[in-house]
Amino acid sequence: MRTGGLDAPVERLSSPSRLNHPDRSVTRLREDMIELLCQAAPRGAHAAISFGAAIDHLSGTVYGSAPLWGAAAEPFDLGAALRERRPDVTWQLVNDVSAALVDFAATHTRPGLRRVGYLTLSSGIALRVADLERLRIPVDERGLQGEIGHLPAMTTAPELRRAGLLCECGAPDHLASVSSGPGIARVAERLGLDGGPALTQWLPEALAAGDPRARRLLELCVGPVAHMLRTLWCLDPHLDLLGLGGGVIEGLGAHYADELRRQLGHATSYADPGRSPDWLAGRLLFCGPGTVDALRGAQRIGRWLPGIAS
């Protein structure tokens, strides 16, 4: 939470989520979220919220958030609930990945770029792409774009084909089932490794030591992301720059970046001849801690709002 301008200090609060409070009902978690946000907003404030959920950017309706509310999929008009509780506040609700994209575009674009994207790999996975030439973030008729974490994971690995690994949304074999932070833990357990809290410390250390189990785990979890990027570039050759961030990227650092570049360098067909190191260096930017600020993006999104359209 930040109160003030773009450079004001950030206060970190625990989110009332299914991950943090698995015993609470979705109704209770949503009420707790409303209460938390309303208590945080000063009187008469303009509140720009970077929210980790699939949001209709045209209406403010939340369709779902696996990390926050698990499998719950009924639409929830969070914007209306906030306005009803605190009508003195001007509420601007933005998806966190859209906000991160806006901040990334403001700080990392260069002349000549046509389209820029931001991919987050954390407790969930999502992508946003913006058209810089028209200053647009296109969305579908439900106000959504890039909820790729809940698409089927593309993999040919025998360990993962029809593995039945459950996503936080409750469905099996999604991209987030395998390649999100919790997904990496699930794949670790499938390989007979400890998928508990110790994994976050063991994995970077084991990768640095060249442990073959860690290398295979990373290869399996990066694979579906590499497949998704191949498809993305095939369908959108004007995507000139893609930022990658989130807890998985920050936690694994160069290990993740090197493995993704290695996989993308392999040719799969004439449609995907493999990408050279120079080609990838010009199009992929791995974002470390503090590189992209979704809160700052939510504050900056005003100039983009007319261009978030179906």
- Span 200-236, pLDDT tens digits: 999 999 999 999 999 999 999 999 999 999 999 999 9
Q: What single string gives the DSSP state of each residue in the chain?
A: -B-SSTTSPB-------TTT-TTS-HHHHHHHHHHHHHHHSPTT-EEEEEESSEE-TTT-EEEE-HHHHTT--S-EEHHHHHHHH-TTSEEEEEEHHHHHHHHHHHHH--TT--EEEEEEESSSEEEEEEETTTTB----TTS----GGGSBP----TTTTT--PBPTTS-BSBHHHHHSHHHHHHHHHHTTS--STTHHHHHHHHHHTT-HHHHHHHHHHHHHHHHHHHHHHHH-TTEEEEEEESHHHHHHHHHHHHHHHHHHTS--BTTB----HHHHHHHEEE--TTS--HHHHHHHGGGGGGG---
Residue 237 within any structural domain of the chain: yes
Residue 261 within any structural domain of the chain: yes
Residue 168 within any structural domain of the chain: yes
Report how many domains make up the chain.
1
The reported pLDDT for the residue numbered 306 is 74
Per-residue confidence band for 38, with pLDDT thresholds at 50, 70 and 90: very high
Residue 103 within any structural domain of the chain: yes
Per-residue confidence band for 310, with pLDDT thresholds at 50, 70 and 90: low
Residue 130 within any structural domain of the chain: yes
The larger pLDDT score, comparing residue 91 to residue 59, is at 91
Residue 2 within any structural domain of the chain: no
Residue 49 within any structural domain of the chain: no
| Enclosing domain of residue 269 | 99-286
Residue 14 within any structural domain of the chain: no
The reported pLDDT for the residue numbered 3 is 74
> Taking 90 as the threshold, does the pLDDT of residue 180 lie above it?
yes
Write the pLDDT tens digit of every residue in 227-285: 999 999 999 999 999 999 999 999 999 999 999 999 999 999 999 999 999 999 999 99
Domain containing residue 230: CATH number: 3.30.420.40
The reported pLDDT for the residue numbered 66 is 83
**pTM of this structure:** 0.90
Per-residue confidence band for 60, with pLDDT thresholds at 50, 70 and 90: confident
